[in-house]
Amino acid sequence: MSGVYVVNTHRHGRARPASPAWRAGIFAAISFGIFFFSVADILAAHGYTAAHDPTLWSASNPSGAAGRWIELALIGAIRLIPGSTSQALSILTVICGALFQGVFTHNLVKRGWQPAQAALAAGLNALHPVMLSLVTSGSASLLYVMMAASVVIALDRFEAIGDTQSLIVLGLLLAILGLAWPDAIFFMIPLAALLPWAFKDIRSYSAATALFVIALTPALICLSAVALGGTLFQVPFGDVFAIWAAPLHGAGHAVVSHSFWLATYGGYPFAAFIVLCVLCACLVPMLLVVVLRFATARRERANPVTGVAALVLPPVTGAIATMYYQLESPWIVIALSLSCVLAWAATTSFRALEKWALIAMMFAGVVTAWATPLLWQDPAHLIWRGILLGGS
């Protein structure tokens, strides 16, 4: 009988068949990797330019790169490969996207989904234009949303267990997110407000203080190390933290007018929050399943923080970033909403009808996202859509 085998170290080192969850995850990763590579090849054949920042590839120390330390490290490693070009970034995001799909499928099967049912859910996720665009673009935005999904999964574990180890893991992931994403601070601020709610053992101010110290210390250590490294290499302190100080804050009229989103909602966080909530609900209608779980499942109401995080963290993040003129379009917010609700789904034990409800909402989200003009305000995204739909 053929199959995937792993080593059993508990009895004489004999091999045993991999679990159904692992088999499904490996098959999904390979299958979706082939699919993503095919889409990337179509885009390359039409001369579509990847969405990554070209200055990060062409310059060894580009201005304004501070805050994207992990991205810079990856680019530096790829540039060491003889003959490598910036197209290697698209290959990297395709591989990461395939692994993301494999992990998602594995977690669903581990939670009781049938492999075919989990593969269908993963396939609908792969077909969502936001996810497909991130995977095939070579942009670091995929890294941001994958790290945000990891933070939500860690938050679920912390809410369920509440031990020091789970809190340390959450803190380390926040530190990595801060090193990878310049605007991570807008995601961390509302998340920090949810931490005391997730930690049920808080009985005093001292316990709350200890919670924040343990959760935020890894990020502070990493940022301090970055500052020290900048000092050693004689990089001015202001340059090291320039990107966290708001690259678009106080942007000129030309920058704001170029962005439909900033021209309309820049500086107005409440209006931006309402619009982003509507966009997320329309383009990622899986969020309605979270609401359904709150209404019908006692277990969800007993541990509500992860579900609330999946619902509100992306629009709140976008609203704060819009207030400081750091969100040029709602695209990244839709991507965050999609990844956070997928992370929530991967940690939830669904009933049979809820699984099909989630799949139905995923299908509705894919159709709506491809069809609605709400998502296609950026000319680059319109070109990308036209290539894949045969319009150009």
Residue 284 neighbours by CB under 8 Å, 6+ apart:
334, 337, 338, 341, 365
**Token pair 């931006």 in the structure block, residue:** 272
Q: What distance in Å separates the CA atoms of residue 196 and residue 39, rounded to the nearest whole number?
A: 43
Q: Is the pLDDT of residue 118 over 60?
A: yes
Range scoring the smallest mean pLDDT among 133-147, 237-251, 327-341, 360-374: 237-251
348 and 342 in contact (C-beta within 8 Å)? no
- What would the pLDDT profile of 87-115 be if each residue is shown by its tens digit? 788 888 999 999 999 999 999 999 999 99
Is the model's pLDDT at 347 over the cut of 50?
yes
Residue 315 in tokens? 């629009």
The better pLDDT of the pair 314, 377 is held by 314
Amino acid at 340: C
pLDDT digits (tens, 9 = 90+) for 1-32: 445 544 454 444 555 666 888 899 999 999 99
Residues 219-231: what's their mean pLDDT?
66
Count other Cβ atoms within 10 Å, centred on residue 226: 19
In sequence order, the β-bridge partners of residue 15 are 7
Output the 3-class SS for 204-258: CHHHHHHHHHHHHHHHHHHHHHHHHHHHHCCCCHHHHCCCCCCCCCCCCHHHHHH
Short-list 251, 287, 246, CA closest to 266: 251
Contact (CB, 8 A) for 254 and 308: no
CB 188 within 8 A of CB 144: no
pLDDT at 342 over 80: yes
Residue 153, helix vs strand vs coil:
helix
Alpha-carbon span 228 to 41, nearest angstrom: 42
